[in-house]
Amino acid sequence: MGADRVFAYGAAAGLLGDLLLGDPRRGHPVAAFGRAAAAVERVLWRDDRARGAVHTAVCVGGAVALGGLAARCVRSSPAASVALTGVATWAVVGGTSLAREARAIGRALEAGDVEAARARLPHLCGRDPQALDADGIARAVVESVAENTSDAVVGALVWGAAAGVPGLLGFRAVNTLDAMVGHKSPRHRRYGWASARLDDVAGWPGARLTAVLAAAAGPDPRGAVRAWRADAHRHPSPNAGPVEASFAGALGVRLGGTLSYGGRVEHRPVLNGGGRAVAVPDIDRAVRLSRRVGWLALGAGALARNVWKGRRS
């Protein structure tokens, strides 16, 4: 069995596992990686970019090496290779948890329980929930669903298609490190620089593929493309911009604007300014679009590997 089929079958099994089982309640591999990365940080931390770069190299390099060693151990068995790819995919994608948290907040908002929605929001994103009313919470959820479709699903599948199990684990390591040290807190402004920049690079292809697939799978493809072209470059994140703009156009809503992180207020550009304000039902629409994009990304990755194999043969 060729590497293209190993990825296609294994990644499909992993996505099905995520759909049916979600994340493990205990002993999640990503949580174990986070604990290991935190231990490395305790040893290496200085307010210095070079130290942070070493931290990034050690943690990401370790994840890639582990994936490469595991793949090498099973390469003589197609069945074992498919199983390993499936387990790795299930471990690194988070589509079901994303959908579960978004819909739980949506149900609370539908019931008029804004306090419950505020209490649940930190499970999904880093906004200050007390600064948001019901409409602001709904907008935050839709934006988080859009961005995390790229970070938690499509980006991993892109790197899995490109580099197999090492690519899957490496991408999740990069994304996790960015969440841990890549933000601009006083402690991590310099130390987390390398992790943040590497996340920008690693997330670039997945973000663009997510934007393309959101346009293709959404109810308004022209609106998605129009918003992407007009507004994506105005977003402060090079990768969140295309994804959120494409989702906004596809769903016909406005995203962006004023938000608050850690007590710091940001005034971001509005994406798809001609759209309407986000409403609570848009949360479920965004989740359904996210699901479609994830499965389409699997198909795109499998096709790309097959084409690459054909060119090399």
Q: Residue 104: how many CB atoms within 10 A of its CB?
A: 17
Closest by alpha carbon to 214, among 229, 204, 224? 224
Report whether 283 contacts 145 (CB < 8 A): yes
- Read off the pLDDT of residues 92-147 as tens digits, 9 standing for 90 and up: 999 999 999 999 999 999 999 999 999 999 988 877 888 788 998 999 999 999 99
Closest by alpha carbon to 304, among 193, 191, 182, 167? 167
Domain range annotation of the chain = 3-312
* Mean pLDDT score, 160-185: 93
- 254: phi then psi, degrees, rounded to nearest 5: -95, 130
* Mean pLDDT score, 23-40: 88
Spatial separation of the C-alpha atoms in residues 181 and 200, rounded to whole Å: 14
* Mean pLDDT score, 158-186: 93
Indicate the pLDDT class of residue 54, thresholds 50, 70 and 90. Answer: very high
Q: What is the pTM of this model?
A: 0.93
